Amino acid sequence: MATDFGQFFLHSLPNLMSGLGYTLFLTFISITAGFFLGIVLALGRVYGNKIVNGFCVGYIELIRGTPLLVQLFIIYFGLPSIGIIFSPIQAALLGLSLNSGAYQAEYLRGSIQSVESGQMNAARSLGMNKFQSIQYVILPQALRIAIPAWSNEFIYLLQYSSIAYIIGVAELTAEGKFIAAHTFRYLEVFAIIAIIYLVLTIVSTEIIDRIAKHLSIPGIGAAKRVSLRDI
């Protein structure tokens, strides 16, 4: 039984690795693109005029108020009817990035607003313009504060990226489905896949925690991720 499982695992490995590659690719690209989109949206919400702020709120609420799956379907199945055609992987990257951007915008907005207003006053008093004040004083502090929430977003995205399988991206879950359909060993396949996700989650959490520690401001300490153990 054990050797049989071992052989089965080895046999499935190429498919699983290929799927893992897509999963990581989707996650890294979307979290990064979503991060930059999130910063723009968050700055628009905090510092923008009424129109900019309204636009950002509208976007964020639209994304957060609709299921990710529906968003993916609109991009992949809906847009072609007006002549905009994406490959599955393009559609998944776009959908996950646009979605993550909205969520990251809200975390970032919270952390920007938690930087004391005196910091902006001090920066402006030195003669920095608003943009410089944000760049050199507000964001360096806000981004540190955002790391724990951002760590959670990374984990969500890692797991939600599995939804891309529905529009035909051969990521980890899709590969699992493929292997299981050919071998009928559903339990083993998805147990392996669950373990892979679990290991990825634990490892990435640990890495982000170390980054947070490394970036922590001496005398203040790293912002802490609230984990279930702390509650």
Partner 1 sequence: MSMLEVKDIYKSYGDVQILKGVSFIMEKEETKVIIGPSGTGKSTLLRCINQLSPPDKGQIWLDGEEITNRKTNINKIREKIGFVFQDFNLFNHLTALRNVSIGLEKVKKIEKDAARKRAMQELTRVGLEAQVSQYPAQLSGGQKQRVGIARALAMDPDVILFDEPTSALDPELIGDVLDVMKSLCGKVAMLIVTHEMGFARNVANEIIFMEGGVIVEQGSPKEMFTNAKMKRTQEFLGRIGALYGEEETGG
Burial class (CB in 10 A: 0-12, 13-18, 19+), 117: exposed
Q: What residues numbered 135-154 form the site for partner 1, per CB under 8 A?
A: 136-137, 140-141, 144
Q: In the complex with partner 1, which residue's Cβ is closer, 32 or 129?
A: 129
Closest CA to 72 of 155, 168, 172: 168
Residue type, 141: Q
Query: Shortest gap between Cβ of 204 and partner 1 (angstroms)?
Result: 25
Kind and range of the H or E run holding 78: none
What is the rounded CA–CA span in Å between residue 37 and residue 73? 21
Q: What are phi and psi of 140, to 5 degrees?
A: -55, -30
Query: Shortest gap between Cβ of 150 and partner 1 (angstroms)?
Result: 17
What is the rounded CA–CA span in Å between residue 110 and residue 219? 22
* Contact in structure between 160 and 97 (CB atoms under 8 Å): no
Residues in the chain: 231
Query: Shortest gap between Cβ of 213 and partner 1 (angstroms)?
Result: 15
Q: In the complex with partner 1, which residue's Cβ is closer, 65 or 219?
A: 219
Distant-in-sequence, close-in-space partners of 20: CB < 8 Å, separation ≥ 6: 172, 196
Site track for partner 1 across 104-133, x = CB under 8 A: ------------x-xx-xxxxxxxxx--x-
Q: In the complex with partner 1, which residue's Cβ is closer, 79 or 143?
A: 143
Q: In the complex with partner 1, which residue's Cβ is closer, 220 or 228?
A: 220
Q: What residues numbered 203-222 form the site for partner 1, per CB under 8 A?
A: 217-220
What is the rounded CA–CA span in Å between residue 103 and residue 109? 10
Query: Shortest gap between Cβ of 115 and partner 1 (angstroms)?
Result: 8
Query: Shortest gap between Cβ of 69 and partner 1 (angstroms)?
Result: 40
Q: In the complex with partner 1, which residue's Cβ is closer, 69 or 126?
A: 126
For residue 197 the two structure tokens come to 């996700």
Q: In the complex with partner 1, which residue's Cβ is closer, 14 or 221?
A: 221
Applying CB under 8 A, the site for partner 1 has a residue count of 22
Q: Does 32 bind partner 1 (CB under 8 A)?
A: no
Residues at the site binding partner 1, with contacts judged by CB under 8 A: 116, 118-119, 121-129, 132, 136-137, 140-141, 144, 217-220
